Amino acid sequence: MINKKLENELNKQMNAELYSAYLYLSMGAYLSKQNLNGFSHWMQIQFQEEQSHAMKLFQYILDRGGEVKLEKIEKPKTTWEGIVDVFDNIVKHESKITSMINSLVDVAMTEKDHATVAMMQWYVSEQVEEEASVSLLYDQLKLIEGKGPGLFMLDREANQRVFTPAPTK
């Protein structure tokens, strides 16, 4: 059985993952309007991945005999100042998510909840990968100033992305 403090923290993180999903979906809609269909696809894959991050927490709370509490999901932005601005927002957003994950692990350690510490290690590693891949894309987009043939090439590459769900256990 999970204690109430950790149950709250896990529910808060689940809500943050659902907000992330919403944010990427909104970015996907915006980028489609900019005719960047490859990047729109990339965002829609990210939307699915964030949903799976939320569902991993959902299942974990239930497995530990806790209560899943679904809260209101914050409304995401709907417009940006181009693709470079989108990735600038993503880099900042993912860094905030990393801090939230680290704080959650800190609480689990203080509460001596080893199962939660172990489960959360997946998120810790995932954030390293996620921050690295979005920073690389952000740097490449800045290099080409978010335009020209370079943008066309990156958009085609972004279209190749495939969905990798979070492992449920």
Task: Decide whether 113 or 126 has the Cβ nearer to ligand OFO.
Answer: 126
CB of 50: closest distance to ligand OFO in angstroms?
5
Task: Decide whether 40 or 51 has the Cβ nearer to ligand OFO.
Answer: 51
Task: Decide whether 11 or 20 has the Cβ nearer to ligand OFO.
Answer: 20
CA 68, 15, 55, 111 dihedral sign is negative
Q: Which residues bind ligand OFO (CB under 6 A)?
A: 17, 20, 50, 53, 94, 97, 123, 126, 130
DSSP string, the chain: ---HHHHHHHHHHHHHHHHHHHHHHHHHHHHHHTT-HHHHHHHHHHHHHHHHHHHHHHHHHHHTT------PPPPPP---SSHHHHHHHHHHHHHHHHHHHHHHHHHHHHTT-HHHHHHHHHHHHHHHHHHHHHHHHHHHHHHTTT-HHHHHHHHHHHTT----PPP--
CB of 62: closest distance to ligand OFO in angstroms?
19
User: Nearest-CB residue to ligand OFO?
Assistant: 53
Task: Decide whether 24 or 30 has the Cβ nearer to ligand OFO.
Answer: 24
CB of 89: closest distance to ligand OFO in angstroms?
12
CB of 130: closest distance to ligand OFO in angstroms?
5
The 10 Å Cβ neighbour count of residue 31 is 24
Task: Decide whether 36 or 104 has the Cβ nearer to ligand OFO.
Answer: 104
CB of 69: closest distance to ligand OFO in angstroms?
19
